[in-house]
Protein backbone atom coordinates (compact mmCIF):
# COMPACT_ATOMS: atom_id res chain seq x y z
CA UNK A 1 0.00 0.00 0.00
CA UNK A 2 1.21 3.45 -0.86
CA UNK A 3 1.13 5.87 2.10
CA UNK A 4 2.50 9.04 0.46
CA UNK A 5 4.02 9.56 -3.02
CA UNK A 6 7.33 7.98 -1.96
CA UNK A 7 6.37 5.75 0.98
CA UNK A 8 5.12 2.17 0.57
CA UNK A 9 4.15 -0.06 3.49
CA UNK A 10 4.27 -3.85 3.59
CA UNK A 11 2.00 -4.90 6.44
CA UNK A 12 1.95 -8.29 8.18
CA UNK A 13 -0.70 -9.39 10.64
CA UNK A 14 1.54 -11.38 12.94
CA UNK A 15 -0.99 -11.67 15.78
CA UNK A 16 1.60 -10.77 18.44
CA UNK A 17 -0.03 -9.86 21.75
CA UNK A 18 2.59 -7.23 22.62
CA UNK A 19 1.90 -5.09 19.61
CA UNK A 20 -1.70 -5.33 18.41
CA UNK A 21 -2.24 -4.35 14.81
CA UNK A 22 0.53 -6.33 13.15
CA UNK A 23 3.94 -5.19 11.89
CA UNK A 24 5.27 -3.05 9.07
CA UNK A 25 8.23 -2.79 6.76
CA UNK A 26 8.61 0.25 4.53
CA UNK A 27 10.02 0.91 1.09
CA UNK A 28 10.82 4.59 0.56
CA UNK A 29 11.84 6.29 -2.67
CA UNK A 30 10.96 5.93 -6.35
CA UNK A 31 10.43 2.29 -7.47
CA UNK A 32 11.59 3.22 -11.00
CA UNK A 33 14.81 4.69 -9.70
CA UNK A 34 15.97 3.57 -6.25
CA UNK A 35 14.57 2.97 -2.79
CA UNK A 36 15.40 2.37 0.87
CA UNK A 37 14.01 -0.48 2.92
CA UNK A 38 13.23 0.15 6.59
CA UNK A 39 13.59 -2.95 8.82
CA UNK A 40 13.63 -6.60 7.81
CA UNK A 41 11.05 -8.19 10.13
CA UNK A 42 11.08 -11.45 12.05
CA UNK A 43 13.40 -14.34 11.33
CA UNK A 44 10.71 -16.63 9.95
CA UNK A 45 11.33 -17.54 6.33
CA UNK A 46 7.73 -16.65 5.51
CA UNK A 47 8.24 -13.09 6.69
CA UNK A 48 11.32 -12.61 4.52
CA UNK A 49 9.40 -14.11 1.61
CA UNK A 50 6.64 -11.54 2.12
CA UNK A 51 9.18 -8.70 2.03
CA UNK A 52 10.78 -10.11 -1.11
CA UNK A 53 7.37 -10.63 -2.75
CA UNK A 54 6.54 -6.98 -2.13
CA UNK A 55 9.93 -6.02 -3.52
CA UNK A 56 9.06 -8.01 -6.68
CA UNK A 57 5.71 -6.25 -6.83
CA UNK A 58 7.52 -2.90 -6.79
CA UNK A 59 9.55 -4.10 -9.80
CA UNK A 60 12.75 -5.09 -7.96
CA UNK A 61 13.98 -1.50 -7.56
CA UNK A 62 17.61 -0.79 -6.80
CA UNK A 63 17.87 -0.65 -3.00
CA UNK A 64 20.45 1.89 -1.87
CA UNK A 65 20.38 1.02 1.83
CA UNK A 66 18.54 -1.03 4.41
CA UNK A 67 17.78 1.18 7.40
CA UNK A 68 17.26 -0.50 10.75
CA UNK A 69 15.27 1.13 13.53
CA UNK A 70 16.81 -1.03 16.29
CA UNK A 71 18.29 -4.41 17.04
CA UNK A 72 15.26 -6.37 18.31
CA UNK A 73 14.79 -9.68 16.54
CA UNK A 74 11.47 -8.66 14.98
CA UNK A 75 13.24 -5.82 13.10
CA UNK A 76 16.52 -7.34 11.94
CA UNK A 77 15.35 -10.96 11.57
CA UNK A 78 15.59 -11.47 7.82
CA UNK A 79 18.53 -9.09 7.28
CA UNK A 80 21.00 -11.68 5.95
CA UNK A 81 18.58 -13.11 3.39
CA UNK A 82 17.31 -9.68 2.34
CA UNK A 83 20.88 -8.44 1.84
CA UNK A 84 21.67 -11.50 -0.29
CA UNK A 85 18.88 -10.45 -2.64
CA UNK A 86 19.10 -6.65 -2.50
CA UNK A 87 22.88 -6.27 -2.17
CA UNK A 88 22.50 -3.05 -0.19
CA UNK A 89 24.38 -2.02 2.96
CA UNK A 90 22.65 -2.08 6.34
CA UNK A 91 22.59 1.29 8.11
CA UNK A 92 22.05 1.37 11.87
CA UNK A 93 22.85 3.01 15.19
CA UNK A 94 26.59 2.66 15.99
CA UNK A 95 25.70 0.53 19.04
CA UNK A 96 24.05 -2.05 16.82
CA UNK A 97 26.82 -2.22 14.21
CA UNK A 98 28.98 -5.01 15.66
CA UNK A 99 26.00 -7.35 16.05
CA UNK A 100 24.94 -6.80 12.46
CA UNK A 101 28.52 -7.19 11.24
CA UNK A 102 28.59 -10.63 12.86
CA UNK A 103 25.42 -11.44 10.95
CA UNK A 104 26.16 -10.12 7.44
CA UNK A 105 29.85 -9.18 7.36
CA UNK A 106 31.73 -5.96 8.05
CA UNK A 107 31.53 -4.71 4.46
CA UNK A 108 27.74 -4.66 4.51
CA UNK A 109 27.22 -2.50 7.62
CA UNK A 110 27.73 1.25 7.86
CA UNK A 111 26.85 2.92 11.17
CA UNK A 112 24.79 6.10 10.94
CA UNK A 113 25.99 9.47 12.18
CA UNK A 114 23.57 11.35 14.46
CA UNK A 115 21.13 13.28 12.24
CA UNK A 116 22.75 11.93 9.10
CA UNK A 117 20.81 12.51 5.90
CA UNK A 118 20.26 9.35 3.84
CA UNK A 119 19.32 9.85 0.18
CA UNK A 120 17.68 7.65 -2.38
CA UNK A 121 15.69 7.76 -5.65
CA UNK A 122 12.98 10.33 -6.31
CA UNK A 123 15.04 13.00 -4.57
CA UNK A 124 14.09 11.43 -1.23
CA UNK A 125 16.09 12.46 1.81
CA UNK A 126 15.55 10.87 5.22
CA UNK A 127 17.16 12.16 8.37
CA UNK A 128 18.27 9.64 11.01
CA UNK A 129 17.19 10.66 14.52
CA UNK A 130 18.73 8.76 17.43
CA UNK A 131 15.81 8.11 19.75
CA UNK A 132 16.90 5.84 22.63
CA UNK A 133 14.46 4.61 25.25
CA UNK A 134 12.63 1.61 23.82
CA UNK A 135 16.16 0.38 23.23
CA UNK A 136 19.57 2.10 23.40
CA UNK A 137 20.19 1.60 19.68
CA UNK A 138 16.87 2.99 18.48
CA UNK A 139 16.77 5.26 15.42
CA UNK A 140 13.72 7.04 13.95
CA UNK A 141 13.73 8.57 10.48
CA UNK A 142 12.22 11.87 9.35
CA UNK A 143 11.08 12.40 5.77
CA UNK A 144 10.61 16.13 5.81
CA UNK A 145 9.33 16.61 2.25
CA UNK A 146 6.31 14.37 2.84
CA UNK A 147 5.99 15.11 6.56
CA UNK A 148 6.42 11.49 7.57
CA UNK A 149 8.08 10.08 10.69
CA UNK A 150 9.23 6.46 10.76
CA UNK A 151 9.14 5.71 14.46
CA UNK A 152 10.15 2.04 14.72
CA UNK A 153 9.07 0.90 18.19
CA UNK A 154 9.41 4.36 19.76
CA UNK A 155 5.80 5.17 18.83
CA UNK A 156 3.43 2.39 17.74
CA UNK A 157 0.24 2.76 15.74
CA UNK A 158 -2.19 0.86 17.93
CA UNK A 159 -0.83 0.55 21.47
CA UNK A 160 1.79 1.90 23.83
CA UNK A 161 5.29 0.47 23.65
CA UNK A 162 7.70 -1.15 26.09
CA UNK A 163 10.46 1.07 27.39
CA UNK A 164 13.87 0.20 28.74
CA UNK A 165 14.89 3.67 29.94
CA UNK A 166 11.99 6.02 30.47
CA UNK A 167 14.05 9.19 31.02
CA UNK A 168 15.76 8.91 27.65
CA UNK A 169 12.51 7.70 26.10
CA UNK A 170 10.64 10.86 27.18
CA UNK A 171 13.48 12.97 25.78
CA UNK A 172 13.25 11.05 22.51
CA UNK A 173 9.52 11.74 22.24
CA UNK A 174 10.24 15.44 22.76
CA UNK A 175 12.85 15.26 19.99
CA UNK A 176 10.27 13.75 17.62
CA UNK A 177 7.85 16.64 18.22
CA UNK A 178 10.47 19.00 16.84
CA UNK A 179 10.41 17.36 13.40
CA UNK A 180 7.31 18.54 11.48
CA UNK A 181 5.14 15.60 10.49
CA UNK A 182 1.54 14.57 10.10
CA UNK A 183 1.97 10.90 9.21
CA UNK A 184 3.52 8.37 11.59
CA UNK A 185 4.80 5.10 10.12
CA UNK A 186 5.36 2.79 13.11
CA UNK A 187 7.09 -0.58 13.36
CA UNK A 188 3.84 -2.09 14.60
CA UNK A 189 0.17 -1.19 14.35
CA UNK A 190 -1.59 0.83 11.67
CA UNK A 191 0.05 3.79 9.95
CA UNK A 192 -1.26 6.99 11.56
CA UNK A 193 -2.47 9.31 8.82
CA UNK A 194 -3.46 12.94 9.41
CA UNK A 195 -5.01 14.20 11.61
CA UNK A 196 -4.16 11.30 13.96
CA UNK A 197 -0.54 11.22 12.80
CA UNK A 198 -0.09 14.88 13.67
CA UNK A 199 -1.06 14.30 17.30
CA UNK A 200 0.17 10.78 17.98
CA UNK A 201 3.57 11.64 19.50
CA UNK A 202 1.96 14.24 21.75
CA UNK A 203 -0.66 11.68 22.85
CA UNK A 204 2.17 9.33 23.69
CA UNK A 205 3.83 11.98 25.86
CA UNK A 206 0.52 12.74 27.54
CA UNK A 207 -0.20 9.04 28.11
CA UNK A 208 3.14 8.55 29.86
CA UNK A 209 2.64 11.66 31.98
CA UNK A 210 -0.81 10.43 33.02
CA UNK A 211 0.63 7.01 33.88
CA UNK A 212 3.26 8.68 36.03
CA UNK A 213 0.56 10.63 37.88
CA UNK A 214 -1.40 7.41 38.49
CA UNK A 215 1.71 5.72 39.89
CA UNK A 216 2.43 8.68 42.16
CA UNK A 217 -1.20 8.52 43.33
CA UNK A 218 -0.85 4.80 44.09
CA UNK A 219 2.33 5.50 46.09
CA UNK A 220 0.48 8.25 47.96
CA UNK A 221 -2.12 5.66 48.95
CA UNK A 222 0.67 3.59 50.51
CA UNK A 223 0.84 0.95 47.77
CA UNK A 224 4.52 0.11 47.45
CA UNK A 225 5.15 -3.07 45.43
CA UNK A 226 5.48 -3.11 41.64
CA UNK A 227 2.81 -5.80 41.11
CA UNK A 228 0.42 -4.06 43.53
CA UNK A 229 0.90 -0.70 41.85
CA UNK A 230 0.30 -2.31 38.45
CA UNK A 231 -2.96 -3.81 39.78
CA UNK A 232 -4.04 -0.41 41.05
CA UNK A 233 -3.15 1.48 37.87
CA UNK A 234 -4.10 -0.91 35.05
CA UNK A 235 -7.57 -2.24 34.26
CA UNK A 236 -8.56 -5.37 36.19
CA UNK A 237 -9.38 -7.19 32.94
CA UNK A 238 -5.90 -6.69 31.44
CA UNK A 239 -5.10 -9.85 29.39
CA UNK A 240 -2.71 -12.14 31.26
CA UNK A 241 -0.15 -11.87 28.45
CA UNK A 242 0.11 -8.12 29.05
CA UNK A 243 0.29 -8.25 32.87
CA UNK A 244 4.06 -8.75 32.95
CA UNK A 245 4.56 -5.91 30.50
CA UNK A 246 2.39 -3.69 32.71
CA UNK A 247 4.52 -4.53 35.75
CA UNK A 248 7.67 -3.93 33.75
CA UNK A 249 6.27 -0.58 32.73
CA UNK A 250 5.53 0.39 36.36
CA UNK A 251 9.09 -0.62 37.30
CA UNK A 252 10.43 1.59 34.49
CA UNK A 253 8.38 4.54 35.73
CA UNK A 254 9.60 3.97 39.30
CA UNK A 255 13.22 3.83 38.11
CA UNK A 256 12.75 7.20 36.41
CA UNK A 257 11.12 8.72 39.52
CA UNK A 258 13.94 7.37 41.73
CA UNK A 259 16.52 8.81 39.33
CA UNK A 260 14.76 12.18 39.56
CA UNK A 261 14.83 12.00 43.36
CA UNK A 262 11.03 12.05 43.59
CA UNK A 263 10.60 8.51 44.92
CA UNK A 264 12.67 6.59 47.46
CA UNK A 265 13.44 2.92 46.96
CA UNK A 266 13.76 0.65 49.99
CA UNK A 267 16.00 -2.39 49.62
CA UNK A 268 14.29 -5.72 49.02
CA UNK A 269 13.77 -8.03 51.97
CA UNK A 270 14.99 -11.59 52.04
CA UNK A 271 14.04 -14.75 53.94
CA UNK A 272 15.00 -18.41 54.11
CA UNK A 273 13.15 -20.77 51.82
CA UNK A 274 10.63 -22.85 53.68
Name the site residues for Zn ion (rule: CB under 5 A). Answer: 74, 153, 187
* Residues 182, 70: Cα–Cα separation, whole Å: 23
Shortest reach from residue 261's CB to Zn ion, in Å: 32
Shortest reach from residue 189's CB to Zn ion, in Å: 10
Tell me how many helices (H) and strands (E) the chain has. 8, 12
Nearer to Zn ion, 66 or 254 (CB): 66
Q: To which H or E segment does residue 186 belong? A: strand 183-186
Exposure class string for 87-114: b at 16+ Cβ within 10 A, else e: ebbbbbbebbbeebbeebeeebbebbee
Shortest reach from residue 86's CB to Zn ion, in Å: 21
Nearer to Zn ion, 42 or 247 (CB): 42
Burial class (CB in 10 A: 0-12, 13-18, 19+), 243: middle
DSSP assignments along 190-246, one per residue: --B-TTHHHHHHHHHHHHHHHHHHHHHHHHHTT--SHHHHHHHHS-TT--HHHHHHH
Nearer to Zn ion, 153 or 165 (CB): 153
Nearer to Zn ion, 188 or 253 (CB): 188
Nearer to Zn ion, 74 or 165 (CB): 74
**Which residue, 260, 269, 274, 248, is CA-closest to 18?**
248
* Residues 194, 182: Cα–Cα separation, whole Å: 5
What backbone phi and psi angles, to 5 degrees, belong to 25? -120, 150
Shortest reach from residue 90's CB to Zn ion, in Å: 17
Nearer to Zn ion, 74 or 247 (CB): 74
Q: Are 181 and 148 in contact (CB under 8 A)?
A: yes
* Residues 184, 156: Cα–Cα separation, whole Å: 9
Shortest reach from residue 34's CB to Zn ion, in Å: 26
Shortest reach from residue 26's CB to Zn ion, in Å: 14
**Given CA atoms 136, 191, 189, 200 in this order, what sign does their dihedral have?**
positive
Shortest reach from residue 75's CB to Zn ion, in Å: 6
Nearer to Zn ion, 21 or 187 (CB): 187
Amino acid sequence: MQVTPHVYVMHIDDGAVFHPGGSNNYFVGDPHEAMLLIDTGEQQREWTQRILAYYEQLGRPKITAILLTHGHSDHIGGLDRVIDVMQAPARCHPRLASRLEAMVGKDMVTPLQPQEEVRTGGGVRLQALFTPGHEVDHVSYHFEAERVLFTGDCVLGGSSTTVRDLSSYMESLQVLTRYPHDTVCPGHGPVALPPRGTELVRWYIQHREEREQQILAALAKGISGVAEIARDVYPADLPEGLRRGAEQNVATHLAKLVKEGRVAETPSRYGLRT
